Amino acid sequence: MSSTTLDGIGMPSRMGFLRGLRTRLGLRKERPRTVDFLSTAKHADHEPLLGIEIGRKTYGVGKATLIGYYPNDNPLSVGSFCSIADEVVFFFRTDHRPDLVSTYPGYSIASTGDLFDDSVFKGPTVVGHDVWIGYRAMIMPGVSIGNGAVVAAGSVVTKDIPPYAIVAGNPAKLVRMRFDPDTVSVLQAVQWWNWSPGKIRANIDLFRLPGPEFATRIEETSNQSTQPASAP
């Protein structure tokens, strides 16, 4: 937080956060190998930064660290209402080539300027909506984490995670599903994370319910709205 300024309530200001991020990403000086982002604790809407897409209300508690380089085609997408714990690490385009004579990166093996990029890009890393990633979890390149998933602290995610799954371990494996299949189906269809702030406020009582009860209430409301009007 030392590179950001603080606003009147002790939170890092948006401009200070962006200024610090630009510095770390090399827009103000040489780009470092490790880049901190989501270091603000604000529950605020973020704007796209250098191809990194972050949804509304997503926050990082402390530092979430990126390791790698930034290709042009959105290496990382994080959905809305995600909770990113301290010291989470996202890897992307960082795999070394074990089939070449040396695993050392080609872009820096020589000092002659005759460099080559032998890094392996496995595609964008996608984190869905309403995802909770625990302390010091590691997310390997090219994986997708489904909506509503939970990644336990210290986990190493090497494969895709289905929606509303709880995973843990190295490599991360399924512990259990948060909800039954019918509830998951309703939540996936409703997509409450796309509701407007006004709609969320108007339905705030629903968010105090367990998942299955939330789904039941949503279905009841939907059925009532689709029933034909009674004859006079």
Q: Look up residue 152 and give its DSSP letter.
A: -
133 and 82 Cβ atoms separated by less than 8 Å: yes
Query: Which DSSP string corresponds to 124-136?
Result: -EEE-SS-EE-TT
Longest Cα–Cα distance of the chain, Å, equals 88
The number of residues making up the chain comes to 232
The catalytic residue among 43, 46, 96, 129 is 96
Residue given tokens 């508690």 in the structure block: 61
Q: How far apart are CA 96 and CA 106, in angstroms?
A: 9
Sign of CA dihedral 70, 75, 81, 87: negative
Query: Which DSSP string corresponds to 47-63?
Result: --BTTEEE-TT-EESS-
Cis geometry, peptide bond prior to residue 124 (ω within 30 degrees of 0): no
Tokens of 150: 């939970």
Question: Is 96 marked active-site?
Answer: yes
Instruction: For residue 222, report the phi and psi dihedrals to the nearest 5 degrees.
Output: -65, -40
Residues designated as active site: 96
